[in-house]
Amino acid sequence: MKGIVFTEFLEMVEERFSLEVVDGIIERAALPSGGSYTAVGTYPVEEMGRLVGELSAATGAPVPALLHAFGKHLMTRFTQGFPRFFAESTDALGLLERVETVIHVEVKKLYPDAELPSFECTREGPDRIVMVYRSPRRLSDLAAGLIEGCAEHYGETLDVAREDLSGDGQAVRFTITRGGGT
């Protein structure tokens, strides 16, 4: 997993909780990298799992909620770091439709070792798309946070219905409707 995900995650923990919490979860997670992350590096994805698990233990918040919150946080960073992608779409559904076909394609060019999910995207109507998330990393909660962050960026309300197609989180269907559920 790309270092930027780790540095952003730890930054979020420090902002929301404290440097002490950051230090605590790193110490307890006993990570091979020692918790020294640089945005330009690449680290085992398991370390992220352990960090999130330790954070849940330390704060009592469930892992899915933490990933969701992290997704939202990450999206605010993406809007700052990659403004071009957001300028190219006029609304949230438009941007989400382009994650698979444009955004992650560009990400892969920038970071050839990035491990990205796949999204199968279909438009069901002017206000509805269906995205099927597939990834062995089972980060659909992160995806849900990213989607929400995306809606916030465009000042929209999106109704997101989620269905686990595989039963283990490797394939999850998001049905996303604009305008809060109509």
Partner 1 sequence: MSDPIAVLERALERERRARKAAEGLLEEKSRELFTANQDLRALAGTLEQQVEERTRELALARDEAVSASRAKSQFLANMSHELRTPLNAIIGYSEMLREDAIDAGDEALSTDLLRIHSAGKHLLSLINDVLDLSKIEAGQMDVFLESVPVGPLLADVVSTIRPVVEKNGNTLELVAEGELGTAHVDVTKVRQTLFNLLSNAGKFTSNGRVTLTAGREREGDRDTLVLTVRDTGIGMTPEQMENLFVPFKQADASTSRRYGGTGLGLAICEHFCRMLGGAIVAHSEPGVGSTFSVRLPARQPRAEHPSGSFERPARPSRGAVVVVDDDANARDLLSRTLAAEGYTVHAAADGEEGLRLAREVRPVAITLDVLMPQLDGWAVLSALRADDSLRDVPVVIVTMVGDRNVALALGATELVSKPVDRERLASIIARHVKAPAEILVVEDDEHSRDLVVRVIEGHGCTAVCAQNGRIALDRLAERQPAAIVLDLMMPELDGFELLERIAVEPALRAIPVIVTTAKTLSREDRGRLEGRVQQILQKGLYSQSDLVKWLERVTVPLAEAP
Interface positions with ligand HEM (CB under 6 A): 1-2, 5, 78, 82, 85, 96, 99, 103-104, 107, 114-117, 135, 137, 139, 142-143, 146-147, 150
Backbone angles phi, psi at 120, to 5 degrees: -100, 115
30 touching partner 1, by CB under 8 A: no
Whether the Cβ atoms of residue 178 and residue 92 lie closer than 8 Å to each other? yes
Q: Say which entry of ligand HEM, partner 1, none residue 23 contacts (CB below 5 to 8 A, set by partner kind).
A: partner 1
Q: What residue number has its CB nearest to ligand HEM?
A: 135
CA distances from 140 to 15, 71, 163, 181 (A): 24, 10, 10, 20
Question: What x/- string results for residues 117 through 156 when contact with partner 1 is judged by CB under 8 A?
Answer: ----------------------------------------
40 touching partner 1, by CB under 8 A: yes
35 touching partner 1, by CB under 8 A: yes
Q: Give the other-Cβ count within 10 Å of 60's Cβ.
A: 7
Q: Say which entry of partner 1, ligand HEM, none residue 36 contacts (CB below 5 to 8 A, set by partner kind).
A: partner 1
Rounded to whole angstroms, the Cα distance separating 31 from 48 reads: 10
Rounded to whole angstroms, the Cα distance separating 164 from 151 reads: 22
163 touching partner 1, by CB under 8 A: no
Whether the Cβ atoms of residue 153 and residue 86 lie closer than 8 Å to each other? yes
Binding site for partner 1 (CB under 8 A): 19-20, 22-24, 26-27, 34-41
